[in-house]
Amino acid sequence: MSLHLGVNIDHVATLRQARYRTMHGAHNVEPSILKAALEAEAAGAHSITIHLRADRRHIVDDDVYLLRREIGTMMNLEMGNTPEIIGIALEVKPHFVCMVPENREEVTTEGGLDVVGQKASLHASVSQLEANGTRVSMFIDPDLDQVRASAEIGASMIELHTGTFANELGEKRQAEALRLKAAAELGQSLGLQINAGHGLTTKNLPELFIVPHLAELNIGHSIVARSVFVGLRKAIQEMLEAMKGYPA
């Protein structure tokens, strides 16, 4: 199976919120989060990723319900492990949920979830969501203990945090790629689907390709940034083309 691409459109919502944070019902609100999702689908995206944060800084509740109703491909809902958001996920029933850490001071998600330290609460949430028909992923650093804990709580998938890999160069990036490789190998042996994301670009992807068993990459910022110059569809197609280099 070829490597799949989940397109994160949070930053499209960020642009909308810059002006229309309190005016979602206005006739002239733009850019449309739905149009962005449909454009991503038309470009060949395999899933649409959105993050419903506790502070609703970009994606808001209406976006979640609208996209779940209107898009034709898979929805991947990133979320913190809080009762409010869990309740929304149980109602909306996205195809996938990715549990992530949240820090109100961060601009975007930085670092992986501490599954080891939150096993009891995460296990309860995973059980609810999986029983409700949603496959659950843990967004974790490439730490073997975190991989094992993710399997132990019943998650179907892990998404390996590639931010450190993306931010390093040379030998340090190579060392992080080896950590990712080891985590992927362990996860696959434990029956987990292996996804990856954060900071990935068409330029650094080739160095990630030593990591085996990857099923899907979730990429947002690089694609939306590139779309400013070439359009969203073209930016996604460029990323898909770069992903063809991943060994089957």
How far is 202 from 98, CA to CA, in rounded Å? Answer: 23
Among residues 11, 41, 198, 216, the one annotated as catalytic is 198
Measured between alpha carbons, how far is 198 from 180 in angstroms, rounded to an integer?
A: 13
Q: How many domains does the chain have?
A: 1
Residue 218 falls inside a structural domain: yes
Residue 103 pLDDT greater than 90, yes or no: no
- Tell me, yes or no, whether 109 lies in a domain: yes
Active site includes 159? Answer: no
Question: Is 174 a domain residue?
Answer: yes
Active-site residue flag, 78: yes
**Does 99 reside within a domain?**
yes
CB 135 within 8 A of CB 169: no
Q: Which of the following is catalytic: 4, 46, 58, 78? A: 78
* Domain assignment present for 248: no
Give the structural domain span for 216. Answer: 4-243
Asked if residue 126 belongs to a domain, the reply is yes
Residue 185: inside a domain, yes or no? yes
Residues 6+ apart with CB under 8 A from 42: 233
> Beta strand 193-197 with 4-8: parallel, antiparallel or unpaired?
unpaired
CA 87/CA 93 separation, integer angstroms:
10
pLDDT in tens, 207-231: 999 999 999 999 999 999 999 999 9
> What pLDDT does residue 193 have?
98
CA dihedral of residues 111, 115, 121, 125 (deg, nearest 10): 80
Q: 123 catalytic, yes or no?
A: no
Asked if pLDDT for residue 57 goes beyond 80, the answer is yes
The CATH number for 110's domain is 3.20.20.70
Task: Judge whether 83 lies within some domain.
Answer: yes
